[in-house]
Structure 1
Amino acid sequence: MLCPDLEQATAAIIAVGRAFDARNWAPATSGNYSIRLADGRVAITVSGRHKGRLTSDDVMTVDLDGRALDGKKPSAETALHAMLYRRFPEVGSVLHSHSPASVGMTRALRGATGWTVAGHELMKAWPGVGTHDHAVTLPIVDNSQDMAVIAAAIDPLLVAAGDPPAYFIRGHGLYGWGRDIAEAERVVEATEWLIEAERAERAFRSMA
């Protein structure tokens, strides 16, 4: 169900910002978070604000093309949120984390267009995954200062991967989404954990 009003959405965004900051997923002013409102607007973090110290003034509204509706300045990456809302009518929230693990992993996988994970119980935190006996590929797209370039590059990768609930921008971080902000947070948290688990497994294998 879509968030009924801006006040509720703002409170949820502030809470996620504090949680992500505590996990080192939102250093400096990185990351951005949004919620689709029941009236069709999107509540999203204002450009350049520290996500661990958000207030109600740090959340603004845009339309589904990413245009500001209240005179505040949206992040350039608002276009990536808007693209996902237009593409997936059921999506109610988009969250962008910026963890060292996701940035480092995508930089290490130079040239790769996806990261495939299989066999993990925690994959069931992703929507539509009901068993560990499964493989999911999350797309990786190269970074750009032009959001239209990223949006155009990621769309066919999402189709090819079967529309997973997340993707990476190389050297930039993770985008995850869900039917509401709670589901989007589960997607991001599970994905970040899976990166760490895969890294730990490789470290233990090197010791064997």
Structure 2
Amino acid sequence: MTDFAHAVRDILQAGQRMDSRGWVPATAGNISRRLEDGAIAITRSGGHKGFLQADGVITVDMQGRPLRQQDVPSAETLLHCQIYRNDPTAGAVLHGHSVAATVLSMLSADPALVLSDYEVLKVFEGQTTHKTSVSVPVFENDQDIARLAGVVEPFFGRMSAGYIIRGHGVYVWGKNMTTALARLEGLEFLLACELERRKLAR
């Protein structure tokens, strides 16, 4: 099996997992994996991630340009490329639109969501105990993806749990698809816990 075929398999499996958890409704979300030749395999624009087929995955270069002229990548491909450029260890990137991420990021104008004292925090790189806090940056949504990328850029190296786009969704990455999925599931669990705690506190 070629490296691209492996990447397609990883992306399809991730799409099914994310869909089963309700994190990629309708045509929301993007999934990508770095290829050995430096290109990026990524979901094409407009497809439902739970019903992906092999032809729903295309390849782009590190600037987000499709390697085949007829392929149309999502505008958010640029955010995936940005992650790969800034983190040479990143092998996979996941972008989802969960209810918890969307609602929590809209409840306040705070520039970050702080998660503290949860056991699951240990899923993120550098965390070895639940007695800690992890700050997840929250960036304002912007349809100008290049401008949004410019806002995100200075935070690289300080986003062990990924980041949230307000009213939109999360970006999480890891050295491979397994690690990226574990971090996404960890972050989504923690966001769901935070949302539930706020409901109960009313």
Give the deviation of 1:205 after TM superposition: 3.9
Instruction: Report the Cα distance in structure 1 between the residues aligned to 2:131 and 2:194, rounded to whole angstroms.
Output: 16
Give the deviation of 1:157 after TM superposition: 3.5
SS at match of 1:133: coil
Aligned to 1:80: 79
Matched, 1:195 2:191: yes
Aligned to 1:170: 166
Structure-to-structure mapping, 1:106-117, within 5 angstroms:
106-109=105-108, 111-117=109-115
Deviations 1:19-54 (A, max 9, x none): 111111111100000000111110000000010110
Aligned to 1:6: 4
Instruction: Give the CA RMSD over aligned residues.
Output: 1.5
Instruction: Tell me if structure 1 keeps the 8 A contact 2:134–2:161.
Output: no
Aligned to 1:57: 55
Tell me the TM-score normalised to structure 1 length: 0.92
| Equivalent of 2:135 in 131, 134, 137 | 137
SS at match of 1:202: helix
| Equivalent of 2:36 in 35, 38, 55 | 38
Instruction: Figure out how many residues of one structure are paired with residues of the other and give that number.
Output: 201
How many percent identity over aligned positions?
40
Give the deviation of 1:156 after TM superposition: 2.3
Aligned to 1:149: 147
Instruction: Report the Cα distance in structure 1 between the residues aligned to 2:52 and 2:77, rounded to whole angstroms.
Output: 17
* Letter paired with 1:184: A
Instruction: Report the Cα distance in structure 2 between the residues aligned to 1:48 and 1:178, rounded to whole angstroms.
Output: 24
Instruction: Tell me if structure 1 keeps the 8 A contact 2:86–2:156.
Output: no
Instruction: Report the Cα distance in structure 1 between the residues aligned to 2:78 and 2:32, rounded to whole angstroms.
Output: 11
Give the deviation of 1:158 after TM superposition: 4.0
Instruction: Report the Cα distance in structure 2 between the residues aligned to 1:202 and 1:42, rounded to whole angstroms.
Output: 39
SS at match of 2:27: coil
Aligned to 2:24: 26
